[in-house]
Amino acid sequence: MKIKSKFSRRLILTGYSLFLAFLAIYSIFDYQYEWRKVQSFVMREIRSIALSTRPILNVDGMLTLSKEIEKDDSRLVENKAFEKLRQPLIDLAAEVGRGIPIYTLQIAPERFEEISRSPNRSHKNATQFLLMSSREPFFKHRYDYKPEMAACFFEGEVVEVPPYVDQHGSWISVYVPLRSDSGAEVVSILEVDYRLDQLKSELLNVFFLKWGVLLVVGALVLILLYVISRRLSMDLEALTEQAKAYSEGKEDVRFGVQSGDEVQILSETLEKARSRQVLAQELLMKAKDRLEESDRNKEELINVLSHELRTPLNGIIGVTSLIEGEVEADIKKVLDRSLERMNVLIENVESYMLIDGLDLAVEKDLCAIQEVTHHWLLSKGFTEETVTFRLEVECLELQNEVFEKILSQLLDNAFKFSEGKGVVVGSGGNPFCVWVEDLGEIIPETSRENIFRPFYQVDMSLTREQEGLGMGLAIAKKYAMKVGGTLSYEEGSQGNRFVFRMPLSATTSRVN
């Protein structure tokens, strides 16, 4: 089955998502920044217009005219003085362009007292137009009073009004105070407005153009990423196919990708590792063959030695039984002991060498620790008083032959080194264990890691008191490992303790 890499798709999706996220965040911040910058520029421009307009206005003439002519008076159309007063505003508005309205406002005289008492709140129809840059006069038409006007009307300050919305649209404004020729008081204000709706529309068009360019550039980048990732994914797919085939055991697979990049380096590294593994497998097969041959030779040697040693040994035992009564009892005792020792040594070596190939029964037996110990004591001629039991658990489920071998070797070792003081047999703990503790001399720490090696003895001198080849603990440990358990040394309360920890599958029964 062909393996399809999702690398390209994931790379494209990740890149496209990151690009869109970046574009969205960038556009929001950039638009806000540009919009604030444009507003600041417009504010500076209309402020400049307002301040440059104030000196060219005839304020006293404007006030005098307002006293003579009422709203929509027919004389207003033919009034040369009015046209002369407003002509500078018309010319300036035409020169500036962009539809910037410029006009002067006066607080309606009948509302002045009311507004002066609460200048910081809005008042409907409380101000009136006097001059405007539009072609229509709008003389004395009413206009709402805004709280922003207070600083200009009553304190004579130039006021910049941030963006606001009314029934005519969105605006930004500047108020400049107008004083009479005497300069004693503010008699009117000059207002210059800039409509933001059109400006915002133009700015959005610019941003749409910018985003369009970014999208095109992003699309080109994504196409480039796709081509690159597709090329990379093809190499990865080929390498993955080779790895999958090799993992399925196809021996003719070779790792080979000629991409000229890191994928090729990875391919060459895998090929070197494969070559080393093939070489290692060949060496392992040769070593396995040699080990199998060695095992066969070992078994043949053991069988031959066992047969060749037991044959004369049986002959000696037979002859010894015939000469009973014809030799001294001490000589007969030494001869029997030597024959027994030789027989035990042969059995131990044969047992240790054949444990690995031993076929254990699947079904487990209920092994009673105290009963197995008593049988061993009887076989060795020891009395039950030589063993102290400290059993928390009395029985366990395990192959009976294995448990008897382990416990008998531990008991034999303990009695050998107890110097006639007896041994202690215990069980319990979590995880469950069976232990045998002798009452002899503590084994030195430097020797503890070697005591489970075959043929190792703490006292290796030829004048040692204890007999044996040092096979007992090695046989017990190998049987413990055979069933999945462990055998370890611990320093006991009175001597050396050897602990057989059961495999997790073992079942125990506690003492009632």
CB 396 within 8 A of CB 507: yes
CB 134 within 8 A of CB 91: no
Q: Which two tokens stand for residue 44?
A: 């500076």
In a domain, 261, yes or no: no
pLDDT tops 80 at residue 48: yes
The span from the CA of 3 to the CA of 192, in Å, is 71
> Is residue 187 within a helix (H) or strand (E), and if so which, with residue range?
strand 186-195
Q: Which two tokens stand for residue 473?
A: 């603990």
Over residues 419-450, the pLDDT tens digits come to: 777 899 998 887 788 999 988 888 888 888 88
Task: Write the CATH number for 137.
Answer: 3.30.450.20
Q: Which of 49, 47, 137 is nearest to 85 (CA)?
A: 137
Task: Write the CATH number for 462.
Answer: 3.30.565.10
In a domain, 65, yes or no: yes
Average pLDDT of the residues in 269-287: 78
Q: H helices within 449-502, ranges in order? A: 472-482
Q: Which of 372, 360, 457, 378 is nearest to 416 (CA)?
A: 457
Compute the mean pLDDT over every residue in the chain, rounded to the nearest whole number.
78
Q: Which two tokens stand for residue 171?
A: 């605006």
In a domain, 44, yes or no: yes
Over residues 386-426, the pLDDT tens digits come to: 898 999 888 888 888 888 888 898 998 888 888 777 899 99
CA atoms within 13 A on the CB side of 299: 10
In a domain, 296, yes or no: no
Residue 476's pLDDT band (cuts 50, 70, 90): confident
Over residues 310-350, the pLDDT tens digits come to: 666 666 666 666 566 555 666 666 666 666 667 666 666 66
Over residues 154-186, the pLDDT tens digits come to: 998 999 999 888 888 888 999 999 988 777 788
Q: Are strands 387-391 and 423-428 parallel, antiparallel or unpaired?
A: parallel
Tell which of 202, 225, 253 closes a domain.
Answer: 202
Q: Which two tokens stand for residue 19?
A: 């690009």
Residue 272's pLDDT band (cuts 50, 70, 90): confident
pLDDT at 327: 58
Residue 505's pLDDT band (cuts 50, 70, 90): low
Over residues 110-160, the pLDDT tens digits come to: 899 999 999 999 999 999 999 888 877 788 899 899 999 999 999 989 999
The span from the CA of 328 to the CA of 323, in Å, is 10
pLDDT at 1: 39
Which residues have a Cβ under 8 Å from the Cβ of 392 and sit 6 or more positions away? 426, 427, 428, 429, 510, 511
Residue 127, domain extent: 11-202
Average pLDDT of the residues in 451-462: 69
pLDDT tops 50 at residue 2: no
pLDDT at 306: 61
In a domain, 339, yes or no: no
Name the amino acid, one letter, at 94.
A
C-alpha distances (whole Å) from 493 to each of 420, 440, 490 are 18, 11, 10
Tell which of 148, 178, 202 closes a domain.
Answer: 202
Residue 7's pLDDT band (cuts 50, 70, 90): low
pLDDT at 512: 47
Number of domains in the chain: 2
Q: Pick 8 or 296 by higher pLDDT.
A: 296
pLDDT tops 80 at residue 474: yes
Q: How many CB atoms lie within 10 A of CB 70?
A: 11
pLDDT at 127: 92
DSSP codes joined into one string, 290-351: HHHHHHHHHHHHHHHHHHHHHHHHHHHHHHHHHTTTTS-HHHHHHHHHHHHHHHHHHHHHHH
Extended strands (E) in 399-512: 423-428, 433-438, 486-491, 496-501, 507-510
* DSSP code at position 200: H
Tell which of 202, 229, 251 closes a domain.
Answer: 202
In a domain, 281, yes or no: no
In a domain, 33, yes or no: yes
Q: Is the pTM of this model over 0.85?
A: no
In a domain, 347, yes or no: no
Burial pattern 477-492, b for ≥16 Cβ within 10 A else e, equals bbbbebbebebebeeb
CB 410 within 8 A of CB 436: yes
pLDDT at 351: 67
